[in-house]
Amino acid sequence: MFELPEVVTLARQLSNSVVGRTVANVVLTEPRPKFLFVTPKPGPAFRTALIGREIRCSRSAGRWLFLDLSDGKTLLVGEFGGRLLHAHAESDSPTKQHLAIALDDESSLSLTIQMWGFVGVLSPNELRDHPYAGTLGPEPLSNAFSETILNHILDSHAQADNEPIKAFLTHEANVCGIGNGYLQDILFRARLSPRRRVADIARDERAALHEAVQKTMSEAIALEGRDTEITLYGKHGRYTPILDKRSVGTPCPVCGTSIERVHYLGGSCYLCPTCQP
C-alpha cells in the first residue's frame, strides 16, 4: 500500500507530467476490485465529472493524492495499493487497469488497484467532509509535527491507556501518511514494540519516536519510496526497508538477534525481540 513517501513522489511526478493537461476520455474497466470505492458511482456521472476538465494542480497529504480541476472540484485518489502510471501514448498503457484517463496530449494515466482504494471527484465541501481525507492529522515532516506537538497529541489522546503505538501511528487522524510498511522501521529505530501502550511511552522514548518518524520519512521521500512500490514512470523506489518480510530470520543490524514476524492488529509486524521488548 502507498504511504506518504510514495504519494509525495507520485504528486511531484504528476506535477511534471499532467498538470496543465485536459481530460479527453475516462474509462472505468470491468471487473473492478470489490473494495474499489468510486464517487460518483461508476457510470456517466463519473465520466462527465472529469471529461473536459483541466488538471490545475497535483498535491498530496498523508496517503492521499489530490488533483485539483479547473471547475473547482478535485480528483481524489487514496488509501490504495497497486500502480498509478503515466504513459506517453495510450497504446503504452498496461493491459490490466481499473481506471484509464486519456489526456489531450495523447498521454494517459492508468490506475490499477490492489486490494482496495478510493477514487472520487469531489467538491470542496465534499472534500472537507470526507471521513478520511477530510480528517487528516499533521504530516510527519511538517511544522505541525514538532516534538512538542507530538507530546501534546500523545498526552491528550483519549485512548492512550489502552491503544498500542502501532494503532496510534497508523491512524491518519493522529499522524497522517504512516502505514504498516514504514511503521516497522520507525518502531525499530525508536526501539519500541508495536504492542507498547501510548500511555506507557516515556518522554525520552517520545523524543526517539519523533526522530525515527522524521528520519524514516525523509530518507524514503529522498529515495522515491520503497523498493517494493512503483513510481509514476514504472520504476521501483530506492528505499530498502530495514525490516520487512525479507528480513525475517536475518540478524538484527544492531544486536544480531534474529528478526521475528508477529501477527498483531490485523497485520504482520517485523521486529527485533531484543531491541524492541
The grid coordinates of residue 36 equal 474499489
Q: How far apart are CA 118 and CA 244, in angstroms?
A: 26
pLDDT at 39: 94
Q: How far apart are CA 44 and CA 3, in angstroms?
A: 31
What are 192-235's pLDDT values in tens digits? 999 999 999 999 999 999 999 999 999 999 999 999 999 999 99
Q: How far apart are CA 100 and CA 25, in angstroms?
A: 8
Asked whether residue 95 carries a pLDDT value surpassing 80, the answer given is no
pLDDT at 206: 96
- Percentage of the chain modeled with pLDDT above 70: 99
Mean of pLDDT over the chain: 94
pLDDT at 94: 78
Segment 96-124 mean pLDDT: 94
Asked whether residue 127 carries a pLDDT value surpassing 90, the answer given is yes
Query: pLDDT-derived band of residue 6, with 50, 70 and 90 as boundaries?
Result: very high
Pick the CATH number of 147-271 from 1.10.8.50, 1.20.1730.10, 3.40.630.30, 3.40.50.1860: 1.10.8.50
Q: How far apart are CA 207 and CA 189, in angstroms?
A: 11
Query: pLDDT-derived band of residue 90, with 50, 70 and 90 as boundaries?
Result: low
Segment 88-104 mean pLDDT: 85
Asked whether residue 66 carries a pLDDT value surpassing 70, the answer given is yes
Contact present, 230 and 241 (Cβ < 8 Å)? no
pLDDT at 88: 87
The distance from CA 247 to its chain's CA centroid, rounded to whole angstroms, is: 22
Report the largest interatomic distance among the alpha carbons of the chain, rounded to a whole angstrom.
Answer: 59
Considering Cα of 263, then 265, then 266, then 269, what sign does the dihedral take? negative
Q: How far apart are CA 89 and CA 252, in angstroms?
A: 46
- Identical fold between 4-128 and 147-271: no
- Burial (CB count within 10 angstroms: exposed 0-12, middle 13-18, buried 19+), residue 190: buried
Cis amide prior to 42 (ω within 30 degrees): no
> What SS3 state is found at 99?
strand
pLDDT at 157: 84
pLDDT at 112: 94
pLDDT at 31: 82
pLDDT at 239: 98
> What SS3 state is found at 108?
strand
Q: Which residues contact 260 (CB under 8 A, 6 or more apart)?
A: 248, 270, 271, 272, 273
Asked whether residue 97 carries a pLDDT value surpassing 80, the answer given is yes
Name the CATH superfamily for 4-128.
MutM-like, N-terminal (3.20.190.10)
85-98 in b/e form (b: 16+ CB < 10 A) is bbbeeeeebeeebb
Query: pLDDT-derived band of residue 256, with 50, 70 and 90 as boundaries?
Result: very high
Q: How far apart are CA 91 and CA 217, in angstroms?
A: 35
Structural domain spans, the chain: 4-128, 147-271
pLDDT at 93: 73
